[in-house]
Amino acid sequence: MTDDFEFQIESRLTSHGVYVDQVTETEAGFEITYESVTVDSEEVIPHREVGRVINVFRDLHDDDWEGADISAVVTDFDGNEYGEWMVEQEWFDSLHNGDLTETEFSQKVIETIEYVEE
């Protein structure tokens, strides 16, 4: 992954209150850690925010991109881990091939959200 790719992700998400701490490309896909402006106020990981992160990855690839695994760690502004979520590459592929609708895809991702217990 190039520094330019990470910069593009950071730039696009910052305007939505998502502050990227780190993006790492792995053999399986991507790992992202970000601070969420809404964690403290809403005490949930907003589904709309998760969608924005995913859509930035989709927007930065060609239309025929079959996806990659994405795992995300969400923190508050103090760096405390709040929760995590993930996407499997197969879900992107199924979405691209029409085997999943956008709604079904979103539901699969939402079901992966886990919160850190205090």
Model confidence pLDDT, tens digit, residues 54-77: 999 999 887 777 889 999 999 988
Q: pLDDT of 74-88, one tens digit each?
A: 998 888 899 999 999
Element (H, E) at 32: strand 29-36
Q: What percent of the chain clears pLDDT 90, i.e. is strictly above it? A: 65
Confidence of residue 6 (pLDDT cuts 50, 70, 90): confident
Report the candidate in 103, 75, 71 with the shortest Cα–Cα distance to residue 88.
71
Q: pLDDT of 33-43, one tens digit each?
A: 999 877 766 67
Structure token digits, residue 116: 């850190």
Report the candidate in 73, 43, 70, 38 with the shortest Cα–Cα distance to residue 54.
70
In the chain the first and final C-alpha atoms are separated, in Å, by: 34
Q: How far apart are CA 45 and CA 43, in angstroms?
A: 7
Confidence of residue 2 (pLDDT cuts 50, 70, 90): low
CATH of the domain at 39: 3.30.70
Is the distance from CB of 66 to CB of 92 less than 8 angstroms? yes
Residue 14 belongs to what domain range? Answer: 3-115
Q: What is the pLDDT of residue 118?
A: 64
pTM over cut 0.85: yes
Instruction: Indicate the number of domains in the chain.
Output: 1
